[in-house]
């Protein structure tokens, strides 16, 4: 290519689309037109940013997006290239004129036929397009270079995870969540789900009593049920989980999501936190604190962890990389009271010896290089804007839902009038391609009806358009109720 791509790219700061989106679209067009031919190197982010007079971050994000969509491929040490396989397939099938539609169809088929993607408004989904995949790959290369083939062997002494990751996570949790821990207490698990499963098998026997939030997280409920334990549903109000005040109340284990109750969104108040910790100390119960999305607070920082208030070693703290990074990474962690470390290690080693070490070493590098913190900041900013768009759309469209907990997280629960059937609403929305689970789906006992919306994985325009479809579905329903045609 004789010309530098920058001379063919026009960006307009007055357009609605971000510079990053405009740049990604322009680069795709250059690929489709073979101006950037298969196998060609693309300019470095620094050069292109300089030529276009935009920030280097904008170029890096646009490149990351094109890597994610398969247009570009990183090559260790040599830079970024136009992907050969994808473009050959596309361009051999079509002429230039319809290249663009074929590309989108090809990319869409690639995603939809083999692998699923979240549809609006599936809860608990990060926007993986924000993830800096190229940077992650560089960290992976760096980890492989540092540890060489040692990383490829069995490392049975690393049952609880890669030591540098355990150390760096211990520091992160002490500083950001007030968690009291030494790194030897941090165990890396295959998602927080594995931690729940292992803890269930370590701490429970058939007929053990497990008090859990109701409505509550199904992943946890299924783990307790596997052991034959008895579930004791505990109600939620605006202050979070409300344990029965009766002093004779007992449970071997209490499961809670205090930062942001899943799925309602209520935050456990300080007085309830103190009484929960006091209950555990008095009765020798275990508390499992699942802190699954506390990184996402938009207006004020979250309360420190429940574990930080515990002086009896009865609180087990669980976290996950599924929301802050991406869910298929399958990395979670648990901070164990010192008294449980040995038994947990023994159980984990029977299950799978140890987890995948290349990803753990990569993650340690990613955190130590500061990329973890910048990604959290970038995601928090994007999700904060999406939360605003969501709330504005819901109120403009006069949806018959109330959203009492709108201060953070990745999901918003909209409560319906108590006469409504939330499963019927959810099914109706599903029939038009919108996925919003009913609150009752998470409940053991009858609960106030509601719908659980996830807002983080969807761009603002998608949210606005999908909310209009939700509103139309509600309008159709109301007309149907009054005996009028529902269309
Ligand atoms: C309450 C709660 N805990 C934990 C998780 C994360 O699970 P994992 O780390 O297994 O992906 C989720 C995911 O949706 C969740 O909602």
The answer, yes or no, to whether residue 171 has pLDDT greater than 60, is yes
Q: Would you say 100 and 32 are in contact if contact means Cβ atoms under 8 Å apart?
A: yes
**Residue 326 Cβ < 6 Å to ligand 1:** no
pLDDT attached to residue 253: 98
Number of domain units in the chain: 3
Task: Kindly give the pairing relationship between strand 315-320 and strand 332-335.
Answer: antiparallel
Same structural domain, 358 and 315: yes
**Residue 365 Cβ < 6 Å to ligand 1:** no
**Residue 410 Cβ < 6 Å to ligand 1:** no
Same structural domain, 155 and 291: yes
Q: How far apart are CA 281 and CA 298, in angstroms?
A: 33
Task: Find out whether the peptide bond into 263 is cis, omega within 30 degrees of 0.
Answer: yes
Q: Using CA positions, which residue lies closest to atom 4 of ligand 1?
A: 292
Instruction: Please write the tens of the pLDDT for every residue from 350-389.
Output: 999 999 999 999 999 999 999 999 999 999 999 999 999 9
| 330 in a structural domain | yes
- Give the CATH number, domain containing residue 64: 1.10.10.10
Same structural domain, 157 and 284: yes
Domain termination residue (choose one: 370, 387, 402): 370
Same structural domain, 258 and 353: yes
Instruction: Please write the tens of the pLDDT for every residue from 262-321.
Output: 999 999 999 999 999 999 999 999 999 999 999 999 988 888 999 999 999 999 999 999
Find how far residue 381's CA is from the centre of its chain.
15
pLDDT attached to residue 92: 43
Which whole number is the average pLDDT over 336-348?
98
The answer, yes or no, to whether residue 106 has pLDDT greater than 50, is no
Domain termination residue (choose one: 338, 370, 402): 370
Angle at 171 between CA 328 and CA 322, to 5 degrees: 15
Q: Which two tokens stand for residue 432?
A: 């038009």
pLDDT attached to residue 1: 43
Same structural domain, 177 and 265: yes
Question: In the predicted model, what is the mean pLDDT of the chain?
Answer: 90
pTM: 0.78
**In terms of residues, how long is the chain?**
487
pLDDT class of 29 with cuts at 50, 70, 90: confident
Same structural domain, 352 and 397: no
pLDDT attached to residue 187: 98
Nearest CA to 416 out of 447, 442, 448 is that of 448
Q: Using CA positions, which residue lies closest to atom 12 of ligand 1?
A: 292
| 130 in a structural domain | no
- Give the CATH number, domain containing residue 427: 3.90.1150.10
Give the CA count within 13 Å in the CB-facing half-sphere of 145: 9
- Which position has the higher pLDDT, 53 or 142? 142
Q: Which domain holds residue 42?
A: 5-116
| 139 in a structural domain | no
| 309 in a structural domain | yes
Written as one string, the DSSP assignment of 70-135 is TSEEEETTTEEEE-HHHHHHHHHHS-STTHHHHHHHHHHHIIIIIS----TT-TT---GGGS-HHH
pLDDT class of 3 with cuts at 50, 70, 90: low
Q: Which of 217, 263, 268, 331 to mutate to test the pocket of ligand 1 (most atoms within 8 A of CB)?
A: 217
| 33 in a structural domain | yes
Domain termination residue (choose one: 313, 347, 370): 370
Q: How far apart are CA 254 and CA 233, in angstroms?
A: 10
| 454 in a structural domain | yes
pLDDT attached to residue 94: 36
The answer, yes or no, to whether residue 485 has pLDDT greater than 70, is no
| 460 in a structural domain | yes
| 270 in a structural domain | yes
Instruction: Please write the tens of the pLDDT for every residue from 194-219.
Output: 999 999 999 999 999 999 999 999 99
Atom in ligand 1 nearest the alpha carbon of residue 124: 14
291 CA from centroid of ligand 1 (Å) = 9
Same structural domain, 252 and 387: no
- Give the CATH number, domain containing residue 253: 3.40.640.10
**Residue 290 Cβ < 6 Å to ligand 1:** yes
Q: Provide the terminal-to-terminal Cα distance of the chain, rounded to the nearest Å.
A: 54
pLDDT attached to residue 28: 86
Same structural domain, 155 and 184: yes
- Virtual CA dihedral for 161, 167, 168, 174, nearest 10 degrees? 120
Report, in this order, helix, strand and coil percent for the chain, each rounded to 5: 50, 10, 40
Same structural domain, 390 and 365: no
- Which position has the higher pLDDT, 75 or 45? 45
Same structural domain, 378 and 363: no
Same structural domain, 18 and 81: yes
Which whole number is the average pLDDT over 34-47?
84
Atom in ligand 1 nearest the alpha carbon of residue 332: 9
The answer, yes or no, to whether residue 460 has pLDDT greater than 70, is yes
**Cβ partners under 8 Å of residue 90, min gap 6:** 32, 99, 102, 103, 106
Q: How far apart are CA 318 and CA 257, in angstroms?
A: 10
Which whole number is the average pLDDT over 69-80?
79
Same structural domain, 193 and 323: yes
104 CA from centroid of ligand 1 (Å) = 32
The answer, yes or no, to whether residue 88 has pLDDT greater than 70, is no
Nearest CA to 258 out of 317, 181, 193 is that of 317
Q: How far apart are CA 166 and CA 73, in angstroms?
A: 31
């Amino acid at each position: 290519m004789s010309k530098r791509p920058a001379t063919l790219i026009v960006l307009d700061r007055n357009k609605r689309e971000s510079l990053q989106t405009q740049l990604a679209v322009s680069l795709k067009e250059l690929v489709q037109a073979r101006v950037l031919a298969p196998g060609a190197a693309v300019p470095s982010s620094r050069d292109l940013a300089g030529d276009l007079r935009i920030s280097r971050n904008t170029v890096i994000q646009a490149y990351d997006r094109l890597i994610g969509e398969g247009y570009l491929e990183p090559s260790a040490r040599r830079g970024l290239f136009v992907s050969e396989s994808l473009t050959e397939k596309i361009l051999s099938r079509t002429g230039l004129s319809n290249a663009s539609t074929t590309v989108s169809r090809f990319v869409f088929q690639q995603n939809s036929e083999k692998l699923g993607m979240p549809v609006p408004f599936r809860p608990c989904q990060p926007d993986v397009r924000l993830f800096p995949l190229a940077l992650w790959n560089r960290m992976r290369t760096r980890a492989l270079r540092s540890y060489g083939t040692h990383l490829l062997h069995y490392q049975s002494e690393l049952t609880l995870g890669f030591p540098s990751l355990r150390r760096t996570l211990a520091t992160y949790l002490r500083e950001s969540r007030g968690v009291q821990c030494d790194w030897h207490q941090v165990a890396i698990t295959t998602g927080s789900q594995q931690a729940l499963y292992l803890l269930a098998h370590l701490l429970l026997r058939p007929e053990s009593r497990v008090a859990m939030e109701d409505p509550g997280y199904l992943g946890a409920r299924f783990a307790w049920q596997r052991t034959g334990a008895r579930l004791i549903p505990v109600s939620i109000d605006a202050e979070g989980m409300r344990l029965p005040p009766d002093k004779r109340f007992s449970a071997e284990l209490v499961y809670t999501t205090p930062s942001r109750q899943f799925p309602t969104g209520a935050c456990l108040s300080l007085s309830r936190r103190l009484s929960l910790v006091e209950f555990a100390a008095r009765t020798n119960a275990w508390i499992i604190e699942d802190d699954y999305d506390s990184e996402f607070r938009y207006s004020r920082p979250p309360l420190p962890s429940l574990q930080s208030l515990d002086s009896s070693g009865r609180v087990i703290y669980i976290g996950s990389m599924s929301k802050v990074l991406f869910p298929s990474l399958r990395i979670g962690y648990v901070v164990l009271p010192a008294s449980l470390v040995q038994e947990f290690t023994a159980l984990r080693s029977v299950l799978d010896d140890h987890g995948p070490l290349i990803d753990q070493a990569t993650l340690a590098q990613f955190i130590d290089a500061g990329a973890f913190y910048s990604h959290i900041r970038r995601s928090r900013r994007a999700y904060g804007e999406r939360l605003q768009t969501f709330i504005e759309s819901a109120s403009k469209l006069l949806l018959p839902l109330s959203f009492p907990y709108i201060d953070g997280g990745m999901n918003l629960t909209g409560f319906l009038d108590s006469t409504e059937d939330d499963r019927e609403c959810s099914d109706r929305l599903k029939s038009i391609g919108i996925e919003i689970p009913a609150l009752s789906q998470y409940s053991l006992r009858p609960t106030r009806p509601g719908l659980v919306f996830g807002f983080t994985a969807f761009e603002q325009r998608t949210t606005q358009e999908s909310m209009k479809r939700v509103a139309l579905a509600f309008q159709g329903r109301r007309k149907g109720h009054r005996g009028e045609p529902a269309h």
